[in-house]
């Protein structure tokens, strides 16, 4: 049962294509696993289709049609090379979401007691702050706030903080107004997180700032 979804305006920005790439990836992972948000996405895309249909058309160059017709038989460009993905020894039964297929995934790195992260690099947006976070059962993520929006999608296990309890498929949306210290459920937690502007910790200004 998925209880936490992206905010309506976040999903709209995702469908309109204006969400930052890391957040768009996280939102895409959520939507893939959430029938409710899939239906909402279809409605919003239909709104995009209606707006496209109603736009005042702009004529193309005179030779545009001939130019495209001449290209129809060209072979499609090859797919991009598969990025390197470390073997993360995921919990049994967990498969990384399809939306992560094009991303490079680093090995686990130590971040704190019972806390590891793996850097997720998007070839199409390499400066985005995206990571997989693995928190052992009963451990807390350091108390932190954010330079901007933080989207966290639970892939396995769960956590809770002042804003509620989050399980598999839930998405937490936090912004610079929230300071929180998530506590992992007893079995632990594995999340995908996209951060805008880095984490802000009380004792260092930035852990993973750009």
Nearest distance, CB of residue 76 and another protein, angstroms: 5
Candidate list 3, 36, 84, 101; residue touching another protein; CB under 8 A: 101
Q: Does 62 bind another protein (CB under 8 A)?
A: no
Q: Does 78 bind another protein (CB under 8 A)?
A: no
Nearest distance, CB of residue 17 and another protein, angstroms: 4
Stretch that binds another protein, among 17-25, 133-141, 154-162, 183-191 (CB under 8 A): 17-25
Count of all residues that appear for the chain in the document: 210
Q: Does 52 bind another protein (CB under 8 A)?
A: yes
Cβ proximity of 26 and 173 under 8 Å:
no
Q: Does 171 bind another protein (CB under 8 A)?
A: no
Nearest distance, CB of residue 187 and another protein, angstroms: 30
Q: Does 177 bind another protein (CB under 8 A)?
A: no
Cα-trace Rg, the chain: 20
> Which residues would be at the binding site for another protein (CB under 8 A)?
7-9, 12-13, 15-21, 40, 42-43, 45-61, 64-65, 67-69, 71-72, 76, 79-80, 98-99, 101-102, 122-126
């Amino acid at each position: 049962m998925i209880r936490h979804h992206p905010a309506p305006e976040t999903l709209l920005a995702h469908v309109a294509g204006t969400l930052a790439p890391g957040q768009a990836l996280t939102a895409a992972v959520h939507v893939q696993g959430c029938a409710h948000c899939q239906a909402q996405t279809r409605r919003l895309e239909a709104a995009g289709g209606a707006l496209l249909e109603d736009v005042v058309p702009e004529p193309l160059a005179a030779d545009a049609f001939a130019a495209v017709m001449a290209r129809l038989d060209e072979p499609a460009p090859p797919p991009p090379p598969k990025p390197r993905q470390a073997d993360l020894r995921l919990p049994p039964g967990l498969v990384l979401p399809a939306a992560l297929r094009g991303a490079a995934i680093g090995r686990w790195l130590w971040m704190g007691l019972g806390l590891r992260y793996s850097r997720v690099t998007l070839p199409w947006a390499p400066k985005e702050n995206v990571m997989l976070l693995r928190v052992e059962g009963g451990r807390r993520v350091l108390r932190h706030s954010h330079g901007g929006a933080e989207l966290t999608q639970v892939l396995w296990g769960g956590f809770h903080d002042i804003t509620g309890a989050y399980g598999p498929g839930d998405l937490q949306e936090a912004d610079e107004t929230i300071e929180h210290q998530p506590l992992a459920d007893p079995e632990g937690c594995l999340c995908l997180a996209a951060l805008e502007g880095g984490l802000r910790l009380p004792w260092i200004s930035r852990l993973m700032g750009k």
